[in-house]
Amino acid sequence: MMAQPPELFSSPQALLMYLLLFILLLLLLRYLACTTRSSRSHGRLPPSPPKLPFIGHLHLVGSHPHVSLAGLSEKHAADGLMLLHLGQVRNLVVSSTRAAEAVLRTHDHVFASRPHSLVVDVIFSGASDVAFAPYGEHWRQARKIITGHLLSAKKVASLCAAREEEARLVVAKLRQARGPVDLSGMLFAFSNDIVCRAMAGKFFRAEGRNDVFRELIHMNVAALGGFNLENCFPSLGNMSMLRRPVLGKLERLKKKWHDLLDQIIDEHAASNSSSLDQDQERDFVDALLSLQHDYDLTRENIKTILMEMFGAATDTSYVVIEYVLCELLRNPHLMTKLQAEVRGKTPSTQETVKEADLSSMPYLKAVIKETLRLHPPAPLLIPHMSIDKCDVNGYTIPAETRTLVNVWALCRDTRSWEYADEFMPERFMDAEAVDFKGRDFQFLPFGAGRRICPGINFGIATVEIMLANLLHCFDWELPDGMHKEDIDMTDVYGLTVRRKEKLFLTPKYVATCV
């Protein structure tokens, strides 16, 4: 008898299983073919770790992306360059001084744009702000306005009296404390009040508006720093059923901002039209209203710029002050050294430190720099986007490549820094020490090139005056039963990186005035 052929598909379920396997195999082969064609068309790409279909390298990035990317770069990067596919999106990771200089100086014009973001589009009305706006004429005009009328050295200096007064208010509150205080909350409020005072002048405290500003800033930080599906899977992020809930939340947040800002703008416009005092100090809202016709600014443009400026300096300034205090508490000998400088350089007739005294405090400035080195507020900066294909250190970088500059890795690179993981402010006491103004590519807490943070002077002035007064007026103690080894330095990644736990300390007032 002739042998019967074997039954390949003994049931409908088996047939379905084989069909699914066949389809998956075809999809995998198509994915590999597309990847190969893409690699050939782009030329010699930077190296990458092995990746998975669809999710790419997403599984390799943990809850602290700057740390994960630094570890991956050590294993897979060549000359500080590594290419990752996070979902469907191509990302260039920059993690060496030479690579950072190539991207942010040599090819700065190519990497000066920003990737598209649904969150930014909604909150900032089509990315018409400064930090997230794509490179172009609008961005140049908006940056010119804020640097000339809010963040210039002259304007920052003119706000000296306001910063000193706000610092005195904090000192007065702390003097009344009889136990541990929530210093994190107090520092956030101080930083926010400084920004609000510069932006809206006498109007910012009306009817508790400073509290409303703080709430809205927290909401902005959560929205901009949270996981955004379209950043990794644009095709899914564009699906209506997935976009609709996100859009609803963002539109409600935007409306809250606009309702508040419309009130402030209207009050400024009314005050300016009726005021006869032409010598009064103008705040940033006044400046924007006066520039409306020169720069063709719409009311929407003004609100977008204001919204970004209110939040930009608040979150970073208070985080830096808090990290400084934590590092000093963990290193009591450095706390003693810095307090001796601050108290020794402040005139004995003064109850608080004034900005004129800060120029004679080099160790204070060194401590702040060392804190920025170990704890950069934005460890991956705001992502850049290449607008054209270019060659970086022998590797081809395709156009529209999302670019992450890992300043956390640069600031802890043992090739640039001796004892890179230790808190050593003395390294910045040398007259030839590196600085954070974008010329030294091993130290870029504020970025470099066209997209360098324009608020460096404003932020550092806020940090210096508050920190000096905290150390001049008080000795600091940890809550009962807590030791310096118990200070938790675990951080939370977001738009900015901050400590996970709030900082509670007990202030002991020191009468330094005679």
Binding-site residues from annotation for heme: 453
Length of the chain: 514
Scan for tokens 């669809």, then name that residue: 54
Q: Residues of 127-158 as b/e, b for ≥16 C-beta within 10 angstroms?
A: bbbbbbbebeebbeebbebbbebbbeeebbee
Distance between CA atoms of residues 185 and 155, nearest Å: 27
Binding residues: 453
Helices and strands counted in the chain (H then E): 18, 11
Which residues, other chains included, contact 207 with Cβ-Cβ below 8 Å and sequence gap of 6+? Answer: none
How many CA within 13 A on the CB side of residue 280? 13
DSSP characters over 309-353: HHHHHHHHHHHHHHHHHHHHHHSHHHHHHHHHHHHHHS-TT-SS-
Diameter of the chain measured on Cα atoms: 118
What DSSP letter does each residue of 192-232 carry, written as one string?
HHHHHHHHHGGGTTGGGHHHHHHHHHHHHHHHHHS--HHHH
308, 139 contact by CB (below 8 A): no
- Residues 178 and 185: their CA atoms lie apart, in Å, by 17
State both tokens at 454. 């324009």
Q: Contact, 233 vs 88, CB < 8 A? A: yes
Cα gap 359→182, rounded to integer Å: 30
Q: Please tell me the number of Cα atoms within 13 Å of 413 on its side-chain side.
A: 22
Extract the tokens encoding 311.
């939040």
User: CA 268, 269, 272: angle at the middle one, nearest 5?
Assistant: 80
- Cβ neighbourhood burial of 465 (10 Å; 0-12, 13-18, 19+): buried
The DSSP code for 402 is E
CA angle centred on 128, ends 122 and 130, rounded to 5°: 115
